[in-house]
Amino acid sequence: MASDGGHGVSPYTSGLPGPVAGRYRITGRLGRGGMGTVWRATDELLDRQVAVKELHFNEGLSDGEQQLYRDRALREARSVAQIRHPHVVVLHDVIEQDGRPWIVMELIDGHSLADVLAKDGPVEPREAARIGAAVAGALHAAHERGVLHRDIKPANVLIERETGRVVLTDFGIARVSGSVTLTETGVFVGSPEYTSPERMSGATAGPESDLWSVGVLLCASVDGHSPFRRDSIGGVLHAVVYDDIRPPASAGPLLPVVSALLERDTGRRMGAVAAELWLRTYAETGEATGTGHVPTVIRDTVIPPDPGPEPAQDPTPPLTPSPFPVGAPRERGKSRRGVLVGALLALVLGAGVTAAVLAMNGDDGSAGTAATPRPSSSSPAPSAAHTTRTAAPVPAGFRTVTDASGFSVVLPSGYDRSVDPPRIFYYSPGKEFRFGVRNEVPDPNGPVAVMTAQHRGGAAAYKGYRDGFVTETTKDGGPAALWEFTWDGYPGGGARRTFDLCWTENGRQYDIWVSSPVEKSEQGRRTFDTARDTFTPR
């Protein structure tokens, strides 16, 4: 283990500490953070160099709070000791001296990613992909052991100097299944800029929360800082929980995987296996396309390549859920203000014990509708045959369209209708934004197979097809597939981003999509998400 961040003399020791446990001779300090000081040491029994982490205790803590810290150290030790992976720091020992826990780890001769970004600036996308693949692999190994890291950030990713090996460290706030966590005592720990929306809002967090942090880490790697950095904690909370997600332009070829990781809907967020495969493939080949995946935390599955693509027939590109949930619908029953207040309370409650942890280190048509809430990953999905639709407010600037062909949907005001059987279109003025619907006999292979075939044939059907991927998801409780891609667009119109959803309902197969100029893809995604949630066959 190398730097833990920070500089200066530790207030908890005078100069260098004496031998720890009569065995580990301290030879220098590697770094200091809000949770401890990391020392370089020599294991005199085995004659090897190690890193020793000394846990900090505030002298004003009660006996109970000090016990909490001791428990935390033991939990960190147990967490790391369970994991055997080349990209996870190796834990050698844990001891207690003078009432304070000390954790002995392998010594990584190198720098943290935070140090690299501060000294040399952002890294290239392929290097970011290499780092991200290593972190995703380490997390998969941890999650298989029931361990959540919960503090993925550049300071906790180490890069070995001679080999370039990437190592994930500091499981100090990890949660092992079945153990009591600090957040359960009213203390929020972590780095807000890298923390998932569900953790911010106080919801139950699982492996998918670590994957959100990987998405933020990738953005920070290529841009130098998190896309959620703001001037205040409240600003960070608002950005993570509610603001439009704006990945940096420097993400470039990493956009598909970053988008799939930064899904506010945990059920649509990419899993560790799929993320590692995508990132490793790009890091090794430089190819950001042709690696179709099914980003789902519940089932990490990769769609294998297959010949015989079925070209898309519609000149208007379909859509899939955009990586960055711009205006992604928040949980029903929770107001934006309520979510933020809950998150702020979590932070404030923890300030008394771990304040330092919180420091920012194509034609169209018209028609009225009932909204369909997207199933929450924390509640059982209704059956496809008995879906209950709950009306939701129509967003400002939108209207309910009831189409004569037998469906209703909420779309932006001012769209015009056009028909090209079996497709129905709604266009914004100038056809800048295009919404399409197709209704046909179901494919017996299901929505995922349909969208996978479209993805495989994308290069033949759409000029300049790129950044395409398919996501297995649900619509009103039934199976569905989302397809998202970029292409060169119509002559003279510039590149476009398309989002397409396919599912089967009441014996019919539906396909709805939205396409927009690439530079306005966030607005296109917002339109798509609204249409996805409110589309109702009649």
Contact in structure between 219 and 240 (CB atoms under 8 Å): no
Last-in-domain residue among 45, 76, 106 = 106
Q: Do 421 and 445 fall within a single domain?
A: yes
H or E element, residue 222: helix 207-223
Q: Do 76 and 152 fall within a single domain?
A: no
Contact in structure between 53 and 4 (CB atoms under 8 Å): yes
Q: Which of 151, 265, 511, 529 is catalytic?
A: 151
Query: 1 Cβ partners below 8 Å, 6+ apart?
Result: 30, 38, 51, 53, 89, 105, 106, 107, 108, 158, 167, 169
- Where would I find the H helices in 3-156? 63-81, 113-120, 125-144
Last-in-domain residue among 74, 90, 106 = 106
Residue 59's CATH number: 3.30.200.20
Q: Do 185 and 65 fall within a single domain?
A: no
Q: Do 392 and 435 fall within a single domain?
A: yes
* 151 strand-pairing partners: none
Q: Assess if residue 422 is contained within a domain.
A: yes
Please report which confidence band the pLDDT of residue 470 belongs to, taking 50, 70 and 90 as the band edges: confident
Q: What is the largest CA-CA distance in the chain?
A: 83
Active-site residue flag, 151: yes
Q: Do 426 and 524 fall within a single domain?
A: yes
Domain containing 465 equals: 362-376+386-537
Q: Do 186 and 225 fall within a single domain?
A: yes
H or E element, residue 410: strand 407-412
* 427 strand-pairing partners: 416, 434
Highest mean pLDDT among 221-225, 235-239, 322-326: 221-225
Please report which confidence band the pLDDT of residue 176 belongs to, taking 50, 70 and 90 as the band edges: low
Stretch 103-127: mean pLDDT, rounded? Answer: 91
List pLDDT tens digits, range 347-398.
443 333 322 222 223 332 222 322 333 333 333 333 333 344 445 578 889 9
Residue 408's CATH number: 3.40.1000.10
Contact in structure between 79 and 174 (CB atoms under 8 Å): yes
Q: How far apart are CA 239 and CA 217, in angstroms?
A: 16
Per-residue pLDDT at 478 exceeds 70? yes
Please report which confidence band the pLDDT of residue 402 belongs to, taking 50, 70 and 90 as the band edges: very high
List pLDDT tens digits, range 226-264.
999 988 888 888 889 888 888 998 998 999 999 999 999
| 3-state DSSP assignment of residue 409 | strand
Q: Do 278 and 424 fall within a single domain?
A: no
Q: Do 95 and 117 fall within a single domain?
A: no
Per-residue pLDDT at 135 exceeds 90? yes
- pTM for the whole structure: 0.53
Per-residue pLDDT at 47 exceeds 90? no
List pLDDT tens digits, range 58-72.
666 677 777 776 776
**Where is pLDDT greater, at 52 or 313?**
52
What percent of the chain has a predicted confidence (pLDDT) above 90? 33
Q: Assess if residue 247 is contained within a domain.
A: yes
Instruction: Report the domain count for the chain.
Output: 3
Q: Assess if residue 321 is contained within a domain.
A: no
Residue 262's CATH number: 1.10.510.10
Q: Do 67 and 160 fall within a single domain?
A: no
Per-residue pLDDT at 294 exceeds 70? no
Whole-Å CA distances, 356 to 6, 76, 361, 406: 12, 19, 10, 57
Per-residue pLDDT at 184 exceeds 50? no
* Lowest pLDDT segment from 100-104, 379-383, 490-494: 379-383
Q: Do 61 and 159 fall within a single domain?
A: no
Q: What is the mean pLDDT of the chain?
A: 75
pLDDT value for 173: 54
Q: Do 48 and 146 fall within a single domain?
A: no
Q: Assess if residue 132 is contained within a domain.
A: yes
Q: Assess if residue 57 is contained within a domain.
A: yes
Q: Do 248 and 189 fall within a single domain?
A: yes
CA 398, 399, 403, 407 dihedral sign is: positive
Highest mean pLDDT among 68-82, 100-114, 440-454: 440-454
Q: Assess if residue 307 is contained within a domain.
A: no
Q: Assess if residue 12 is contained within a domain.
A: no
pLDDT value for 76: 64
Q: Assess if residue 148 is contained within a domain.
A: yes
Closest by CA position to 426, among listed 289, 316, 291, 261? 316
What percent of the chain has a predicted confidence (pLDDT) above 70? 72
Last-in-domain residue among 76, 106, 136 = 106
